[in-house]
Amino acid sequence: MAAAKFEAEMQAFQALQREFTKVVQSRTQLESQLKENEMVSKEFDLLKDDATVYKLIGPVLVKQDRAEATTNVKKRIEFITSEIKRLEKQINEMEEKQEKKRSEMMQMQQALQAQRQQA
Amino acid sequence: MAQNTQIDPLTAPLQQLQMYQQRLQEDIETLTTSYASLRTVQAKYNDCLDSLKVITSENRGKTVLVPLTNSLYVPGELSDVESVIVDVGTGYFVDKPIPDAKDYYKRKVDYIQTNLNGLQGTITEERKKLTDISELIALRVEMQRKQAAETKK
């Protein structure tokens, strides 16, 4: 009875861990996107005023308005930063949850062992 | 990244030490992979720099082979030796005069170099930690063996 419950807890814990890895992965991905956008933004700042900016749309390069491209990248950076913040919060929450589950499971395991010894 | 927790090397459970050792090994693996991929990217930027060296006014009008794919080339004429279009990332390309483009690639190569240097330092540090912990584990195993022999007597 208690063993079955422990098994269920174990599975719940593993599900938590899997979800945790997924969230951490998306944060890593977002961080590299942020880096790339920051590099582009820096590059735009260094441009001469008469420089032409293109954007790759499918297989063709399309001329872009420079001011528009700059604000576009800035906006993207803002968006990604807020996404990272959101994920970071989620990661913290999940860490707490995992820790709680872990100690719960430790207690259950100890109880289970005590029971076995009595039997 | 493996965190540093203060533990007594002679009394900490062996299992814990082994876990720490494994984590260090994994960290080093990730770091060396990143190092290798940074190296590849740096080489690509260096290739771009080399290619730019050929676009000079003496070579204006000369015939070049333009790669359409890795294995298909068509003849073309080098008409514009003043500027090139550079991929600056996230789908944006910028028209740059050759000197500026060279400057751009040089900056990229240097930027990667500083990253590589930092990474190299971290890898050396982690490797040293790994040697230390491996030695400690060997010592502890030896101690355990001796103890077991003592109690048998």
What would the pLDDT profile of B62-120 be if each residue is shown by its tens digit?
A: 999 999 999 999 999 999 999 999 999 999 999 999 999 999 999 999 999 999 999 99
> Under CATH, which number does the domain B41-119 receive?
1.10.287.370
Residues of B in contact with A48 (CB under 8 A): 100
Distance CA B123, CA B140 (A): 26
Structure confidence at residue B5 (pLDDT)? 56
> Residue B90 is nearest to which of A36, A51, A57, comparing CB atoms?
A36
Contact A55 B92 (CB under 8 A): yes
DSSP state of B69: S
Give A13's contacts (C-beta < 8 A, 6+ positions apart): A98, A101, A102, A105
Contact A98, A24 (CB under 8 A): no
Residues of B in contact with A55 (CB under 8 A): 91-93
Confidence class for position B2, pLDDT limits 50, 70, 90:
very low
Contact B85 A76 (CB under 8 A): no
Find the distance separating the first CA and the last CA of chain B, reported in whole Å. Answer: 44
Q: Is A55 helix (H, G, I), strand (E, B) or coil?
A: strand
Using a CB–CB cutoff of 8 Å, tell me whether A97 touches chain B.
Answer: no
- Structure tokens, A46: 């260094």
Q: Which has more confidence, B4 or B113?
A: B113
Nearest residue in chain B measured CA to CA from A56: B91
**Shortest Cα distance from A4 to chain B (angstroms)?**
28
Where in the sequence is the domain holding A63, given as residue range(s)?
Answer: 2-118
Contact A54 B96 (CB under 8 A): no
Contact A40 B85 (CB under 8 A): no
Using a CB–CB cutoff of 8 Å, tell me whether A1 touches chain B.
Answer: no
DSSP state of B82: S
Please state the rounded mean pLDDT for residues B120-146. Answer: 95
How many Cα atoms within 13 Å fall on the side-chain side of residue A79? 8
Distance CA B116, CA B99 (A): 25
- pLDDT over 80 at B129, yes or no: yes
CATH code, domain carrying A75:
1.10.287.370
Distance CA A52, CA A68 (A): 12
Q: Which has more confidence, A90 or B5?
A: A90
> Residue B94 is nearest to which of A36, A39, A53, comparing CB atoms?
A53
State the pTM of this model.
0.78
Q: Is B92 helix (H, G, I), strand (E, B) or coil?
A: strand
Q: Where are the alpha helices (DSSP H) in chain A?
A: 2-46, 66-118
Distance CA A59, CA B8 (A): 61
- pLDDT over 90 at B21, yes or no: yes
- Across A47-51, A65-69, B64-68, least confident range: A47-51
- ipTM given for this complex: 0.74
Please state the rounded mean pLDDT for residues A25-51. Answer: 93
Residues of A in contact with B1 (CB under 8 A): none
Sign of CA dihedral B4, B9, B12, B15: positive
Structure confidence at residue B7 (pLDDT)? 66
